[in-house]
């Protein structure tokens, strides 16, 4: 997929600081992990398929470990261990990179460098790769520079069998967490206690952490799409929206359920819940090879319009006269229905690339009614296959009757 005589350079993520001398938990650059399997800071992957010297076609640079590092930070990869993990035989210490880098740059014509090009990313801090792009272009201004992101993004959208197994395991751990919650939630529990129950179940099953910051939103909080406070007490008669999921081996799942705090839906809650469930069921049924996300979202929107009219939230005549660029359903369903999922929760993808076998998407319709302190969202992870789709979370309870039965 890359041009002849091309050099590819991919860096590990920085270890991000907090305050004082604190650091955040390390999260590897997804592209470096995808291409190499290295899950360690201070690493550089170099690929030069057309290098005259075979030993320079595939190289990995890692920080030289020591007894001091072992004591303070733990065991790091030796050269031999790095080869075992990655299959890359040419492993060098990081301080040798500059020597090889100059030699390879002189031989290469095209240079592929990597940046975070996710369309929803708001880039406020310079990453290691951003700094390297500046340094590289300043030192070697006459090379032909290329974007690696579209190349790796195109590869990552199609999940390989081993990736699917890891995503399925993340889904299975998430299932265990939800089943635990259905027995735990009742009036008077704190949203933070719900989060603690999930954290215990996920860690117990060898998930390193939540796939994303958990959204545990009771009552009016459910109408805030990215509610993260998780500090309210769940009240009798409220609904509890749970957008919570586990990761496993750096691969993610993404689940949303909305349950009655007291274990029993009111008539209105059940009406809204069933409306969202009908849109969810049809939304999943439409996912198949050839479907494109933009028209897919438009179809789901039309379906949602009908449900909102039935719920008395929209009037049919107003919908008929609406501005097509400003559909009225957006007042109650303002987000997209599907996104890629994999190494990142909002995984890399192309809005206009048709669905293909091996892609994994979420399906997540919702209805949010602030004036009723009621928000309902349902979400599963869907694998596209040759003949249609497979719901990777099909065994996780979603029917209202099933939710009530398990909570009882």
Nearest to 379 by CA among 234, 290, 277, 289: 277
| Residue of 340, 332, 277 lying closest to 309 (CA atoms) | 332
Burial 64-100 (b: 16+ CB within 10 A, else e): ebeeeeeeeeeebbebeebeebbebebbbeeeebeeb
1, part of any domain: no
Residue-wise DSSP of 299-354: HHHHHHHHHHHHTTSS-HHHHHTS-TTS-GGGGT--S-S--B-SSSSS----TTSP
Residues 246, 209: Cα–Cα separation, whole Å:
6
Residues 133 and 189 in one domain: no
Say if residue 203 is in the same domain as residue 288: yes
Q: What's the order of all strands across the beta sheet hosting 144-147? A: 90-93, 58-62, 43-47, 6-11, 110-113, 144-147
Distance (Å, rounded) from C-alpha 39 to C-alpha 52? 29
CB 266 within 8 A of CB 401: no
Tens of pLDDT along the chain (408 residues) come to 999 999 999 999 999 999 999 999 999 999 999 999 999 999 999 999 999 999 999 999 999 988 898 888 888 999 999 999 999 999 999 999 999 999 999 999 999 999 999 988 888 888 999 999 999 999 999 999 999 999 999 999 999 999 999 999 999 999 999 999 999 999 999 999 999 999 999 999 999 999 999 999 999 999 999 999 999 999 999 999 999 999 999 999 999 999 999 999 999 999 999 999 999 999 999 999 999 999 999 999 999 999 999 999 999 999 999 999 999 999 999 999 999 999 999 999 999 999 999 999 999 999 999 999 999 999 999 999 999 999 999 999 999 999 999 999
User: In the chain, what is the straight-line distance between the N-terminal and C-terminal CA atoms, in Å?
Assistant: 55
* Number of domains making up the chain: 2
Q: How far apart are CA 119 and CA 283, in angstroms?
A: 23
Range of the domain at 175: 161-407
Give the whole-angstrom CA distance, residue 230 versus residue 228: 6
* Sign of the Cα pseudo-torsion (395, 362, 126, 63, in order): positive
pTM equals 0.95
What is the per-residue pLDDT for 21?
92
> Which CATH number is 56's domain given?
3.40.350.10
User: What is the CATH number for 233?
Assistant: 3.90.230.10
Same-domain status, 124 and 198: no
In a domain, 38, yes or no: yes
- C-alpha to C-alpha distance for 287 and 295, rounded to whole angstroms: 11
User: Has residue 400 been placed in a domain?
Assistant: yes
| Same domain for 32 and 49 | yes
- CA–CA distance, 389 with 362 (Å, rounded to integer): 12
Question: What pLDDT is recorded for position 122?
Answer: 86
Q: Which of 156, 177, 208 is the last residue of a domain?
A: 156
Question: Interior CA angle at 66 toward 60 and 69, to 5°?
Answer: 95
Residue 54 and residue 150 share a domain: yes
126 and 169 share one domain: no
Whether residues 244 and 269 share a domain: the answer is yes
Q: What is the pLDDT of residue 374?
A: 98
Site of tokens 């609406």: 322
Whether residues 189 and 332 share a domain: the answer is: yes
192 plus 283 within the same structural domain: yes
The pLDDT of residue 119 is: 87
Structure confidence at residue 216 (pLDDT): 98
Out of 156, 180, 211, pick the residue that ends a domain: 156
pLDDT at site 187: 98
pLDDT for residue 125 = 84
pLDDT given at position 231: 98
Among 137, 156, 175, the domain boundary falls at 156
Backbone angles phi, psi at 382, to 5 degrees: -120, 125
Q: Is 44 exposed, middle or buried (0-12, 13-18, 19+ CB in 10 A)?
A: buried
Same domain, 171 and 149: no
Residue 274 lies in a domain: yes
* Domain identity same for 101 and 33: yes
């Amino acid at each position: 997929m890359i041009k002849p005589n091309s050099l590819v350079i991919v860096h590990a993520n920085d270890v991000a600081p907090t305050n004082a001398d604190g650091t955040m938990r390390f999260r590897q650059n997804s592209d470096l992990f995808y291409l190499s399997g290295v899950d360690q800071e201070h690493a550089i992957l170099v690929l030069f398929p057309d290098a005259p010297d075979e030993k320079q076609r595939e190289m990995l640079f890692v920080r030289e470990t020591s007894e001091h590092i072992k004591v303070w930070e733990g065991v790091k990869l030796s050269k031999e261990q790095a080869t075992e993990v990655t299959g890359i035989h040419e492993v060098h210490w990081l301080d040798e990179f500059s020597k090889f880098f100059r030699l390879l740059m002189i031989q290469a014509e095209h240079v592929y460098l990597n940046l975070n090009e996710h369309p929803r990313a708001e880039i406020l801090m310079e990453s290691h790769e951003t700094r390297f792009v500046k340094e590289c272009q300043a030192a070697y201004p006459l090379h032909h520079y290329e974007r690696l992101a579209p190349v790796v993004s195109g590869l990552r959208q199609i999940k390989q069998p081993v990736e699917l197994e890891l995503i399925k395991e993340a889904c299975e751990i998430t299932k265990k967490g939800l089943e635990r919650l259905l027995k735990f939630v009742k009036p008077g529990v704190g949203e933070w206690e719900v989060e603690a129950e999930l954290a215990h179940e996920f860690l117990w099953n060898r998930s390193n952490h939540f796939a994303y910051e958990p959204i545990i939103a009771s009552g009016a909080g459910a109408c805030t799409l990215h509610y993260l406070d998780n500090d309210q007490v769940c009240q009798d008669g409220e609904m509890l929206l749970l957008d919570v999921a586990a990761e496993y081996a750096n691969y993610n799942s993404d689940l949303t359920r909305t349950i009655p705090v007291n274990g029993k839906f009111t008539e209105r809650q059940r009406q809204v819940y069933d409306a969202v469930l009908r849109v969810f069921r049809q939304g999943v049924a439409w996912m198949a090879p050839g479907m494109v996300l933009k028209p897919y979202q438009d179809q789901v929107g039309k379906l949602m319009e009908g449900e909102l009219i039935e719920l008395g939230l929209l009037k049919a005549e107003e919908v008929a006269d609406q501005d097509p660029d400003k559909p009225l359903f957006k007042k109650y369903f303002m987000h997209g229905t599907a996104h890629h999922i994999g190494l990142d929760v909002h995984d890399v993808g192309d809005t206009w690339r048709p669905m293909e076998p091996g892609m994994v998407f979420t399906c997540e319709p919702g209805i949010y009614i602030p004036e009723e302190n009621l928000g309902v969202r349902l979400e599963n992870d869907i694998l596209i296959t040759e003949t249609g789709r497979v719901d990777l979370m099909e065994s996780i309870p979603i029917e209202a009757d099933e939710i009530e039965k398990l909570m009882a």
